[in-house]
Structure 1
């Protein structure tokens, strides 16, 4: 159980704490994080700060008349960078909290161990939404209420969170078989059909599982 207590009524705190735990858990399973997207976001942010600081310093030392042209250029550049930052956050990262690959795997099979995880919450809904993507499968979403791994007074419990991830995501379950609940993983990997098809006596198939061959009624013979 985590020592840090958060407010169980704050979705932002619940999500941020869970996001941090997810990254720590995957890194503990020898997933090497790819920080390319994070580095780009930080570079855009730092560039915006540098432009703002340089503009302020120039205006403070040289005055408005001497720097107004450069100030106009800086304002345009800052606006463009701010737009790029917003686009990168919403269109490229899309809530990604972890992207990486398991360490020690041969390049030939690298795609089997790549994983990208994006998280989100919805207003007034204490549910954690995860979108799992990998190189060799389509993206899919898994969900669970925060109460699965948070106590009523706001403490994070790692075990049920790790079991949920290992049982729901094949790549994580393969890396952490101890926490993977096999029954759940088998059901996810090979879901049983909702309706079982049963062969009938006349060679056709009935979706209800009942025999479609009608039985004739017996008529009793009256003795004369």
Structure 2
């Protein structure tokens, strides 16, 4: 069980914590992470910061009158880089992080369900869903085992890499909170 408690009412916290656990789990199963897209995103972000820092330094040292033309050029360059950054994140990257297995997660407003779209190099994409209560206790603690069992049982390639967590005959039970999560919630005095 994770040591960090999060708010079970914050979908962003639930999703971010689950996304972090997903990455750690897949890397632990020796799925290779593709950092190329992340590297491009970082390069665009750093270029924007360098432009802002250079503009600030020039303005501080030389004054507004001497730098106003360069400041205008920097603002346009920054806007272009920010547009490229946004395009890269939404159109190119699309949340994909692993080579051979592309995983994109999302939530819907006011719906405590984790939506996971998995695309494999040699097959079509598929979507699996489960409520966050499957692997979070009522008081906000993440429990890895039910999360790993859900993934290993729902995605054959992950189940092949982690056969000890693949519950092939219990797929229909995975949408309900796991007994381990229920026991932890009860031992913490919540239901």
Where does residue 22 of structure 2 map in the other structure? 22
CA distances 1:70-93 after superposition (whole Å, capped 9, x unpaired)? 111111100000001111111112
Aligned to 1:138: 124
Residues of 2 paired with 1:93 and 1:6: CA distance? 28
Counterpart mapping for 1:43-54 below 5 A: 43-54=43-54
Q: Distance in 1 between matches of 2:46 and 2:33?
A: 22
Matches within 5 A, 1:156-171: 156-171=142-157
Unaligned runs of 5+ in 2: 172-191
Residues 165 and 172 of structure 1 are in contact (CA less than 8 Å); yes or no, is this contact kept in structure 2? yes
2:105 to 119, 129, 133: 119
Instruction: Return the offset for 1:184.
Output: 5.3
Structure with greater strand share of residues: 1
Secondary structure of 2:60's aligned partner: helix
Alignment: residue pair count: 171
Structure-2-length-normalised TM-score: 0.86
Does the CA-based 8 Å contact 1:8-1:152 persist in structure 2?
A: yes
5+ unaligned residues in a row in structure 1: which ranges? Answer: 101-113, 186-224
Distance 1:181 1:145 in 2: 18
Q: CA RMSD in A?
A: 1.1
For the residues of structure 1 that align with 2:64 and 2:74, how far apart are their CA atoms? 13
Q: Which has the larger radius of gyration?
A: 1
Distance 1:41 1:184 in 2: 40
Secondary structure class of the residue paired with 1:99: coil
C-alpha displacement of 1:95: 2.8
Q: Secondary structure at the match of 2:150?
A: helix
Structure 1 runs of 4+ with >3 Å offset: none
Give 1:64's aligned residue: 64
Matching of residue 155 in structure 1 with residue 141 in structure 2:
yes
1:1-224 pair list within 5 angstroms = 1-96=1-96, 98-100=97-99, 114-183=100-169
Instruction: Measure, in 2, the Cα distance between the counterparts of 1:42 and 1:125.
Output: 31
Structure that is richer in helix per residue:
2
- How far off is 1:60 after superposition? 0.7
Q: Which string of whole-angstrom CA distances, capped at 9 and with x for unpartnered residues, describes residues 72-121 of structure 1?
A: 1111100000001111111112233x313xxxxxxxxxxxxx21101111
Corresponding residue for 1:222? none
